[in-house]
Amino acid sequence: MDNGSWHGYGLPSLDDKTNLGGFAGPTILFESVSESIALNLSDCFNKIKLIKNDKEVDLSLAKPTLTYYPGKLTQTYEFRDDFKLTLELIFVTDRTSLIKTQILNLNDESSKFKIYWEGSIFDSFVHNKKTYTINPSLDEIDNGIIVNFNGENQGLSENTKQNKFFTIYDKKVESKISDDKKSYITEIKDEVVIEKGVPYTIYRTESFVFNNEEFENEKSKINNIKNDPEKHFSSNELRWQSYIDKTLINNDVSKAYQNTAIKSIMTLIINWRSPAGDIKHSGITPSVSYRWFNGLWAWDSWKNAVAVAEFDSELAKDSIRTMFDYQIKSTDEERPQDEGAIIDAIYYQKESFNERNSKPPLAAWAVYNVYENDKDIEFVREMYPKLQAYHEWWYRNRDTDKNGIAEYGAMVHEAHYKYDENGNVIKDKNNNPVINEDAIIEAAAWESGMDNAIRFDKEGIEQGDVGVKVFENTGENGNVVGYSINQESVDLNAYLYAEKAFLKSLAEILGKKEDAIRYEKEAKEIADYVNKYMFDEETGFYYDLQINSTGDEKKLLVNRGKGTEGYIPLWAKMSPKNKAKKVVENIMDTEKFNLKVPFPTASKDNKFFDPNRYWRGPVWLDQALYGVEALENYGYKEEAKELAYKLFDNAEGVITSGVINENYNPITGEALHAKNFSWSAAAYYLLYKNTLSGGVNTSQKSISILK
């Protein structure tokens, strides 16, 4: 997938002799009733067939060569001293792929070829052992074939009835559709005579569009593409070469790590989705390989943007804008009290958005790092007031005791109430909805991004730990504006400290001196609090702080064990050097964080550590990136590089031919959960570019480390 496309292809298996001569798929991102889902329309929609001098050609006898280059799929079938068939596929728009088919005669004499293509489509898909009928049908169009989805679509949304997949050839062809409209044959009517050494070339496009308007627009673009198709192959190669040239800045780093950096680019671009439906700007989804991960999440988008900015600044900017397109305004009909907030996740259709919570505040970090790559001050000017509004929201809606230290929580939302057996909201004696604490705690954990982390276990652990409770936060008029859990989280406030530092930098770029002074002052107040109340001298680490509603009772949650949240103050540069030294000792301890794959989300000495269980032990690469940068920030350069190399060398498949996964077992290195995961790729890209190749890391630079 490329160029923000919503459909994509693979190479056929060498063992799959029936599908040689075609590209596997397409896989199409359809819209179900609740989210985007990746479905295969066909095993191989379009396979070339050749009859040479009245004899059918068996492509498997040619010992085919199938290759995925960055930005291009190729297949080569060479029959020694006879002829060579080459297929190349690229994406030329966000809706259209271009396939070049070339036959080169290697014989001493001219050869006659009958050229045709065949294909079929699936009628249904299976998920969780249940079959869903999508009922597509084939029809002939001028010089091509179209797939319509006009029938009964079980499990897909009504919108799919306007979806279309179609192919158009640049040569005059004729097609025959089967009676059931599920298969076809398309052929060049006349025999083709190819002279020795002269290539015969056919171009075709394959497009997936969401509606009739896109269909008409794409047909117009295809007419232009057909006028000079080679220009598009050249421009595609230049674009991808520019990605690589901007990345491979240090030839002293060995090839295996360079290849991982390129694989990271490919992973991010595969997950790039262009505007469609309710998505207004391009963005990068977590993973096209996992059906639940085809939306756009806030902190994912910002992490991805920081990496992508290194090789495509416009895509990086749009990846930030796409979440801010739905920044809540004071005029919002449903939740005006959340003015400034960025919601958790958006999808193709608004009905699927998650508006129950936000995500950790890393937006100013992303904007500043994007600016550092192209110095686009207009982008800073565009984003600055939006960043301010988002920053202020945290203190208005997530600071239950108004002490300038925030908590994770949840928004006012219908999912956070209790309901009776008839589906009606249960009300208290004052006619206010009765809240569902479990649902709010769930949303608060989502808001942290660390969904099932040990520190969010509802039940208390050991004496004095009252467990996770919910507070209602009210506005000036006394109305509930949101909910906080009874926990001032160290990572949240470290992120907010860093955001103030980045906002200071952005303010200075725009000449807003008073803002810059204010943000530095506020940052110092956070640092004083975190270092006073959230650091444990005995264990040498930072922890969340359990509080009551007024903030006058505090318990440092050392009993819940160490997690990656405890070194985020070093990434933010808010830890004094003496405290940071103790944190680094924990990071480098081979029985804590310095495991085979370092930076487990829970330290190995945490009694709840589980190396396979999502945020309770596996290594997430975003947290690992922040850990490496934390070491760099305090002068531990060699230690940072040592752990960075372990992240590359010991995570399964990363420097070999494997894909980049969502997370990894820290003890065995086993790849876990979703494949082709974007923010893991973003982290590996930044580790290569900055730590291994001598670049400058992404941490804030405007507020000095505390002495």
Smallest CA-to-CA distance from 683 within 120, 370, 235, 303 is with 303
| pLDDT value for 151 | 67
Annotated catalytic residue 605 = no
| pLDDT value for 134 | 82
Q: Label residue 108 by pLDDT band (50, 70, 90).
A: confident
Structure tokens at 636: 């531990």
Give me the count of residues in the chain. Answer: 707
CA distance 623 to 642: 16
CATH topology of domain 7-239: Beta-galactosidase; Chain A, domain 5 (2.70.98)
Residues 127-143: tens digit of each pLDDT: 767 787 888 999 999 99
> Residue 53: left (phi > 0), alpha (psi -120 to 50), or beta?
left
Per-residue pLDDT, averaged over 85-114, amounts to 96
Smallest CA-to-CA distance from 249 within 304, 308, 309, 311 is with 311
**Location of structure tokens 């992240």:** 647
Identify the bridge partners of residue 103 per DSSP, sorted by sequence position.
85, 200
Smallest CA-to-CA distance from 123 within 49, 40, 23, 239 is with 40
Q: Is the pLDDT of residue 297 over 90?
A: yes
Residue 99 CB contacts under 8 Å (≥ 6 apart), including other chains: 23, 46, 87, 88, 89, 203, 204, 205, 206
pTM exceeds cut of 0.75? yes
Smallest CA-to-CA distance from 318 within 688, 3, 697, 668 is with 3
| pLDDT value for 39 | 86
Per-residue pLDDT, averaged over 109-124, amounts to 94
CA distance 237 to 436: 54
Q: What are phi and psi for residue 302, nearest 5 degrees?
A: -75, -40
Residue type, 676: N
3-state SS, residue 393:
helix
Q: Is the pLDDT of residue 463 over 80?
A: yes
Q: 73 or 191, which is more confident?
A: 73
- Residues 49 and 21 sit within 8 Å (Cβ to Cβ): yes
Q: What are phi and psi for residue 654, nearest 5 degrees?
A: -65, -50
- Annotate 317-361 with three-state secondary structure: HHHHHHHHCCCCCCCCCCCHHHCCCCCCEECCCHHHCECCCCCCC
Instruction: Kindly provide the residue ranges of all beta strands, DSSP E only, lying in 362-479, ordered along the sequence.
Output: 409-410, 470-474
| pLDDT value for 33 | 61
Instruction: Assign domain 248-692 one CATH number from 2.60.410.10, 1.10.287.1080, 3.30.70.580, 1.50.10.10.
Output: 1.50.10.10
CA distance 553 to 548: 6
Q: 256 or 160, which is more confident?
A: 256
Residues 260-289: tens digit of each pLDDT: 999 999 999 999 999 999 999 999 999 999
3-state SS, residue 96:
strand
Where are the chain's structural domains? 7-239, 248-692
CA distance 698 to 352: 32
Q: How many other C-beta atoms can be found within 10 angstroms of the C-beta atom of residue 488?
A: 26
| pLDDT value for 125 | 79
DSSP track, 155-170: TB-GGGGG-EEEEEES
CA distance 139 to 122: 15
Smallest CA-to-CA distance from 370 within 299, 283, 307 is with 307
CA distance 592 to 613: 17
Residues 19-66: tens digit of each pLDDT: 999 999 999 998 766 667 788 999 999 999 999 989 999 999 998 899
Q: Is the pLDDT of residue 388 over 80?
A: yes
Q: What are phi and psi for residue 3, nearest 5 degrees?
A: 60, 20
Q: Label residue 245 by pLDDT band (50, 70, 90).
A: very high
Q: Is the pLDDT of residue 515 over 90?
A: yes
- Residues 357 and 330 sit within 8 Å (Cβ to Cβ): no
Considering 142, 451, 553, 591, which one is annotated as catalytic? 451
Per-residue pLDDT, averaged over 314-332, amounts to 98
- Residues 31 and 352 sit within 8 Å (Cβ to Cβ): no
Q: What is the CA radius of gyration of the chain?
A: 28
Annotated catalytic residue 278 = no
Which string of b and e fits 611-645 if b means at least 16 CB within 10 Å? beebbbbbbbbbbbbbbbbbbbbbebeebbbebbb
**Location of structure tokens 């508006």:** 355
3-state SS, residue 409:
strand
- Annotate 253-282 with three-state secondary structure: CCHHHHHHHHHHHHHHHHCEECCECCECCC
| pLDDT value for 152 | 67
Run of H or E residues at 29: strand 24-31
Residues 155-209: tens digit of each pLDDT: 677 778 889 999 999 999 999 999 999 999 999 988 899 999 889 999 999 999 9
| pLDDT value for 158 | 74
Q: What are phi and psi for residue 171, nearest 5 degrees?
A: -105, 160
Structure tokens at 43: 């095993």
CA distance 79 to 65: 12
Looking at every residue in the chain, the average pLDDT score rounds to 95
Least reliable range by pLDDT among 126-135, 373-382, 386-395, 661-670: 126-135
Considering 94, 488, 632, 662, which one is annotated as catalytic? 662
- Residues 46 and 23 sit within 8 Å (Cβ to Cβ): yes
Q: How many other C-beta atoms can be found within 10 angstroms of the C-beta atom of residue 332?
A: 15
| pLDDT value for 491 | 98
CA distance 43 to 59: 18
Least reliable range by pLDDT among 107-116, 119-128, 133-142, 324-333: 119-128
